[in-house]
Amino acid sequence: MQLLHSPSSPYLSLLSSKLQPKAVRLSPENCLPVQPRRLERSIWVLDKRSILSSVSTKAASVEAGTSAISIGTAESDVLKALSQIIDPDFGTDIVSCGFVKDLHINEALGEVSFRLELTTPACPIKDMFEQKANEVVAMLPWVKSVNVTMSAQPARPIFAGQLPVGLQKISNIVAVSSCKGGVGKSTVAVNLAYTLAGMGARVGIFDADVYGPSLPTMVSPENRLLVMNPEKKTIIPTEYLGVKMVSFGFAGQGRAIMRGPMVSGVIDQLLTTTEWGELDYLVIDMPPGTGDIQLTLCQVVPLTAAVIVTTPQKLAFIDVAKGVRMFSKLKVPCIAVVENMCHFDADGKRYYPFGRGSGSQVVQQFGIPHLFDLPIRPTLSASGDSGMPEVVADPQGEVANTFQNLGVCVVQQCAKIRQQVSTAVTYDKSFKAIRVKVPDSDEEFYLHPATVRRNDRSAQSVDEWTGEQKLQYTDVPEDIEPEEIRPMGNYAVSITWPDGFSQIAPYDQLQMIERLVDVPQPTPAQT
**Paired sense of beta strands 111-117 and 100-106, if any:** antiparallel
Q: Are residues 378 and 430 in the same domain?
A: no
Instruction: Name the pLDDT band for 520 (thresholds 50, 70, 90).
Output: low
C-beta separation of 149 from 116 below 8 A: yes
As for how many domains the chain has, the answer is 3
The predicted pLDDT at position 301 comes to: 81
C-beta separation of 227 from 196 below 8 A: no
The predicted pLDDT at position 49 comes to: 33
- Asked if residue 519 belongs to a domain, the reply is no
C-beta separation of 179 from 320 below 8 A: yes
Task: Answer with the residue of higher pLDDT: 386 or 22.
Answer: 386
Tens of pLDDT along 426-472? Answer: 999 888 999 998 887 778 899 999 999 999 988 888 888 888 888 88
Q: Which residues contact 144 (CB under 8 A, 6 or more apart)?
A: 109, 110, 111
Q: Are residues 441 and 480 in the same domain?
A: yes
Beta bridge partners of 26: 14
Specify the DSSP class assigned to residue 62.
Answer: -
Handedness of CA 209, 300, 90, 153 (dihedral sign): negative
- Among 419, 441, 465, where does a domain finish? 419
Give the C-alpha separation, 290 to 497, whole Å. 37
Query: 51-65, 129-143, 307-321: which range is least confident on average?
Result: 51-65
Handedness of CA 384, 388, 392, 395 (dihedral sign): negative
Q: Are residues 319 and 402 in the same domain?
A: yes
Range of the domain at 338: 165-419
The predicted pLDDT at position 8 comes to: 35
Give the C-alpha separation, 480 to 470, whole Å. 18
Report the side by side order of strands in the sheet with 425-428.
Answer: 425-428, 433-436, 445-447
**Paired sense of beta strands 371-373 and 334-339, if any:** parallel
Give the C-alpha separation, 362 to 336, whole Å. 10
- Asked if residue 121 belongs to a domain, the reply is yes
When the pLDDT of each residue in the chain is averaged and rounded to a whole number, the result is 77
Mean pLDDT of 269-280: 90
Q: Are residues 309 and 432 in the same domain?
A: no
pTM for this entry: 0.72
Whole-angstrom CA distances from 486 to 159, 166, 422 are 8, 20, 8
- Among 359, 386, 419, where does a domain finish? 419
Give the C-alpha separation, 67 to 125, whole Å. 38
Please report, for the domain that includes residue 118, its CATH number.
3.30.300.130
Please report, for the domain that includes residue 298, its CATH number.
3.40.50.300
Q: How far is CA 304 from the centre of its chain?
A: 6
Whole-angstrom CA distances from 429 to 274, 316, 504 are 40, 51, 21
**Of 442, 435, 451, nearest to 497 (Cα)?**
451
Mean pLDDT of 262-282: 87
Q: Work out the angle between the directed axes of helices 126-138 and 71-82 (0-180°, nearest 10).
A: 140
Give the C-alpha separation, 448 to 468, whole Å. 23
Q: Are residues 413 and 430 in the same domain?
A: no
Check pLDDT > 70 for residue 33.
no
In this prediction, what percent of the chain has a pLDDT beyond 90? 20
